[in-house]
Structure 1
Amino acid sequence: MENTTKGFTRANHVGITVKNLEKSIAFYEALTGTKVSNIDVIGGERMAKTQGLNDTQIKFANLHLDNLNLDILEYVIPESEQASYSNNQISAMHLCFEVDNIDDAMQRLKEIGVEPDGEPIIFEEADGLKSGYGTAVAYFRDPDGTNLEIIAPQGPFKRKNP
């Protein structure tokens, strides 16, 4: 049988553009308990053209999680502009970290000085769902305002092969 997805069923990484690479490395290493695998710089016209730019220079670090890589990117050329998205805005995205226990994850956020956007909730029938009861979620932001989430999944929110 022919593979019609051409690989679009696998995610490799999420790229997060940041203001200060070193500060963001410290944040994501503290959050995940994982050290970056490398720090490097890429740039020039060839790379710029892949992004519709005339020229670019990007300082970056790669952080490997169990099932996804994070690319932490600081654009030197062209200089980055601050964007701000709330989760309800069209084209806004967020990165969700899967955790085993929402209370332990909330304690971890507190330990590294992160204030969540609100208190965590555990999904119940009153939330309008047909299934997934017992799933717990909370939202927070990184130092540059990137939308992040933690989830302790149940039911259809659980992946078959984590």
Structure 2
Amino acid sequence: MLPALNHVGLTVLNIEDTITFYKHLTSVEVFEEAVHITGDGVGEVIRVKNPDYKSCMVRIGNRAFELIEHLGSKGRHLVANHNDICGIHLAFMVSDIEDVYRRVKALGFEPTTDKPFTAHDLGGYKAFFFRDLNGVQIEVGQIN
């Protein structure tokens, strides 16, 4: 039995740029500074030949994320859609969705809709989606 989820790992283009991006939108705490990882032993475990990457741990709210930046053995840049198997999205709850929508646009990111949509079949839940600088789908929602 797996007793608890420890963290979610996200492979990113650049750790520092990713942290800076999220600091514009939410509180991000780096609780383990980036470490450089190489070696065949690690490569066997993660199934990457000659691994060469940095890893750092951040906390957003009470959730932990491992940010992974491959320096040498870069893989494919996958941009998954909501209906793709293994596609993920990060969801954030806010109290003023219109303000966050404007801030996202001011940062140069394009939401998938021209305004937050209202899901009437979900009790009036308001939300919008956009992609972060790594292509990860972000959901911003507000419960009315």
Q: TM-score, normalised by structure 2?
A: 0.82
Matched, 1:81 2:76: yes
Give the number of equivalent residue pairs: 142
CA distance in 2, matches of 1:148, 1:90: 17
Q: Structure 1's 96 and 71: CA in aligned 2 closer, same or farther, altered over 3 A?
A: same
Query: How high is the sequence identity, in percent, across the aligned residues?
Result: 27
CA distance in 1, matches of 2:84, 2:45: 26
**2:91 maps to which of 93, 96, 116:** 96
**1:146 maps to which of 122, 132, 136:** 136
**1:122 maps to which of 91, 102, 118:** 118
- Aligned-pair distance for 1:153? 3.9
Tell me if structure 1 keeps the 8 A contact 2:129–2:139: yes
- Aligned-pair distance for 1:74? 0.8
Partner of 1:158 in structure 2? Answer: none
Provide Cα deviations, 1:52-91, integer angstroms capped at 9, x if missing partner: 2233122123221122112221112312321121212222
Partner of 1:16 in structure 2? Answer: 10
Provide Cα deviations, 1:23-48, integer angstroms capped at 9, x if missing partner: 22221222223243322222322222
Letter in 1 for 2:54: K
Partner of 1:70 in structure 2? Answer: 65
Letter in 2 for 1:59: K
Please give the secondary structure, in 2, of the residue aligned with 1:31: coil
Letter in 1 for 2:90: L
Partner of 1:28 in structure 2? Answer: 22
Please give the secondary structure, in 1, of the residue aligned with 2:81: coil
Tell me if structure 2 keeps the 8 A contact 1:25–1:61: no
What RMSD over aligned residues (CA atoms) do the two structures have, in Å? Answer: 2.1
Structure ID, larger Rg: 1
Q: Which runs of 5+ in 2 are unaligned?
A: none
Q: Structure 1's 70 and 134: CA in aligned 2 closer, same or farther, altered over 3 A?
A: same
Please give the secondary structure, in 1, of the residue aligned with 2:130: strand
Q: TM-score, normalised by structure 1?
A: 0.74
Partner of 1:135 in structure 2? Answer: 125
Q: Which has the higher strand share?
A: 2
